[in-house]
Structure 1
């Protein structure tokens, strides 16, 4: 039996020893978020997408400028005829310039489409940022809950060890039967198993936090307890803000506007296009070369393209219809989410206030049960029941804290708050 007790405390010490062997760096929630904003690959990839969309605006604007190219050539020709064979050669060098003179606003409309798509990409980037921040918060509060569960398990072990010491003392003086000691030993063994589970859950929760931060290879760290506070929020006000700032909804709006502009752009393909080109250079069979320049004005009018323009226009109209329905769908989802989240937030806050009182009562009940047992008028059943009640209430309290904070983080993400 003594060997079993020694093994139990050896296991407990194996969990506690790393905490004393080296002091871990403690990170706050905001510090974890700051690391995620710098290292999370989803955010970095999203930033690259925004840059690519911005460069497409420059590509569209290139239609305002002339195209200039330089050509150098040497031509060797062989011709065979009735009069004999003839060889000829020619050297050439010229610079060419082509400029769109008037295209009925096609280039400017292309720029407008890309600018609207760029704004959509910016909102998509913000959605990625908000999702990452939410993931960090959810993982952080999950780790905090696991940490509190471990602390509860350690407290239960302390109380179980005290119970065991008292039971052994009473048994040695003949006041309690042997079964009291055995029950206390079983209780301590179960508490140790719960500690092992709590330690595993804490390790997994901290790993999930590293994944959310995008820093899986980061050294181990501890987390700081965040102060809990009930926030005063107005449902209607937040719903109005969400309609204006929700990144998914805003991205859809700009995608719809880009589709409308694309319709207008495709219609301009039916219009003529006026271009001018000029070239200046030298040309001759031998040096010195003869000077040469040309100037050419052209109007091109599309007559038939296999109905390609017609189908492009239908595609653009289909996109506009799609984004219109999608905008209405997301708007309804936002309304539903805000209303549901407010219900969950209210429930969690009420649970916290109730469980805060229940936790205080459970601790007082545990102290009373232990005190009664210590003076010999209580029973082991009272002590075990008090320990179990304290453990359950503590677990429920921190679960409610987790639910409240995660629900509030969901509200922040839906509304479009990055703080």
Structure 2
């Protein structure tokens, strides 16, 4: 089976003045970013809120108990004197102006058209959507964090480049000075070399500043003091990692949060359609109610208790075509959700294939720039030797140094871009962040 070769990075960085355990690798950095970031924390809280909504929907399965109190004053009360039983005290059968009671009602739905079941399904789909949103947020966050981390590592390696370049120019200044003292070359060679040395000093200063800015960006994402002396890895190497080329698209279609979110939306729209339909189905319930107050069941002024028990059934008959219209609207919303998923599926397939080609191109660029650096290094060595032997002018050495510096910078940039493209590949197949 056809294989796709992807370079898998192995990080080998040891600080010049720090122990290995003081250097923060990519996994440690990701963990700190994810623990601090407000968006990912908020998204996880949304999952907890969705859990509560599921429990709330399930609570509708059980009985409902309500309690209440009531009071009202009657301006022209009914006179129950003619209803007074024989022998009853006259003062208990006067017109009642004060009406008050305390009551408790228990109600249990027997059939509600599938409303509760559909509400539970809707709440569950909302949780699935929130989980997918959390994963999507995590993917975007980790990818951005990776870009910042590799930018910092690249700046650190570029700082080492500028130091090496400065060392090379310093050697050239010494060689040119010795040749000038020996009256082999003119002072012009020394001046040209010293100008390049001044430029090299400036490049070192700029590289140090850029590294500090990159570190501050990392610190901000981790939620620590921006000027903290965070140590990142010094350099990047890579080794080959093989996985099935034919399986990466299927992996993306299975794991991408956007598709999981789209599927959850389809289930949510289907549940909403069922909830709408349940309003137009018959409903049946039983209930019991107890109360204590005045007037009494015999319309007397003394407080007495009473109770009621019964069952109810209601069936919608005609609502001016409202049921048909609402269900049609819900069906359209469901079909729109299905189309959105189809669109997202096409997008995922495209992104996975694009990520694969970008990563292959980045791996090839690393190899090419590595070879260019080796050639530039050899060229600089040979031309420097020829200058020391008086066979080449100093301008050739200076040009060779510039070519070497550019080749080294291209090599560093290719490795940074390779790392970013590897993260992009993992993001495309849904492997960069797992909730």
Length-normalised TM-score, structure 2: 0.83
* Match of residue 59 from structure 1: 56
Contact residue 373 and residue 383 of structure 1 kept, 8 A: yes
1:291 is paired with a residue of what secondary structure?
Answer: strand
Residue in structure 1 matching 2:232, options 205, 223, 232: 223
Whether the aligned pair in 2 keeps the contact of 1:146 and 1:201 (CA below 8 Å) is yes
| Larger of the two Rg values belongs to structure | 2
Q: State the Cα distance separating 1:337 from its structure 2 match.
A: 1.5
Task: Encode CA deviations 1:358-412: one digit per residue, 9 max, x unaligned.
Answer: 2222222223333333344432112111211111111111111122221111111
SS at match of 1:70: strand
Q: Distance between the aligned counterparts of 2:176 and 2:260, measured in 1?
A: 67
> C-alpha separation between the residues in 1 aligned to 2:225 and 2:157?
23
Counterpart pick for 2:401 among 375, 378, 387: 387
Deviation at 1:271, TM superposition (A): 0.7
**Alpha-carbon distance in structure 1 between the residues aligned to 2:343 and 2:408:** 41
Structure 2 residue 346 is matched with structure 1 residue 332: yes
Deviations 1:326-376 (A, max 9, x none): 111111111111222222222221222222222222222223333333344
Matched, 1:417 2:431: yes
Q: In the alignment, which residue of structure 1 is the partner of 2:274?
A: 264
For 1:94, what is the secondary structure of its paired residue? Answer: strand
Does the aligned pair in 1 maintain the 2:369–2:411 contact within 8 Å? yes
| Comparing 226-235 and 56-65, the one that deviates more | 226-235
Matched with 2:265 is 255
CA distance in 1, matches of 2:327, 2:390: 90
- C-alpha separation in 2, matches of 1:257 and 1:80: 57
Counterpart residue number, 1:45 = 42
State how many pairs are aligned: 399
Q: Which residue of 1 aligns with 2:158?
A: 149
Q: How far 1:155 sits from its partner (Å)? A: 1.0
Equivalent residue in structure 1 for 2:362, among 329, 348, 351? 348
After TM superposition, give the deviation of residue 172 of structure 1 in Å: 2.8
Question: Are residues 406 and 313 of structure 1, via their aligned partners in 2, closer, same or farther at CA, if it must alter by over 3 Å?
Answer: same
Q: Counterparts of 1:305 and 1:62 in 2: how far apart (Å)?
A: 29
Equivalent of 1:113, from 114, 117, 122? Answer: 122
Q: What is the SS of the residue equivalent to 2:69?
A: strand
Structure 2 residue 205 is matched with structure 1 residue 208? no
Greater alpha carbon shift after TM alignment, 97-106 vs 228-237: 228-237
| Higher mean C-alpha deviation, range 201-210 or range 316-325 | 201-210
Paired residues of 1:41 and 1:214 also in contact (CA < 8 A): no
Distance 2:385 2:69 in 1: 103
In the alignment, which of 282, 285, 288 is matched to residue 275 of structure 1?
285
1:404 paired to 2:404? no
Q: Structure 2: how far apart are the matches of 1:25 and 1:57?
A: 45
* Structure 1 residue 187 corresponds to structure 2 residue 184: no
1:98-156 CA deviation, whole Å, 9 max, x = no partner? 22221121111111121122112212211212222222222111211121111111111
Contact conserved, 2:77 with 2:97, CA < 8 A, in 1? no
Distance 2:41 2:66 in 1: 37
2:7 matched residue in structure 1: none
Which residue matches 2:88?
none
Residue 36 of structure 1, aligned match among 33, 40, 59: 33
Q: Does 2:250 match 1:236?
A: no
Deviates more, 1:177-186 or 1:370-379: 370-379
Contact 1:29 1:226 in 2 (8 A): no
In 1: Cα distance, 2:400 partner to 2:161 partner: 14
SS of 2:316's equivalent? coil
Q: What residue in structure 2 maps to residue 302 of structure 1?
A: 316
Secondary structure at 2:109's aligned position in 1?
strand
Instruction: Tell me the distance in 1 between the aligned counterparts of 2:248 and 2:65.
Output: 55
Mapped to 1, the partners of 2:219 and 2:333 lie a distance apart of 39
Supply the distance in 2 between the matched residues of 1:115 and 1:215 (Cα, whole angstroms): 37
**Is 2:136 aligned against 1:130?**
no
SS in 1 for 2:284: strand
Contact 2:36–2:221 (Cα < 8 Å) also in 1:
no
Moved more, 59-68 or 353-362: 353-362
Map 1:160-199; keep pairs closer than 5 Å.
160-199=169-208
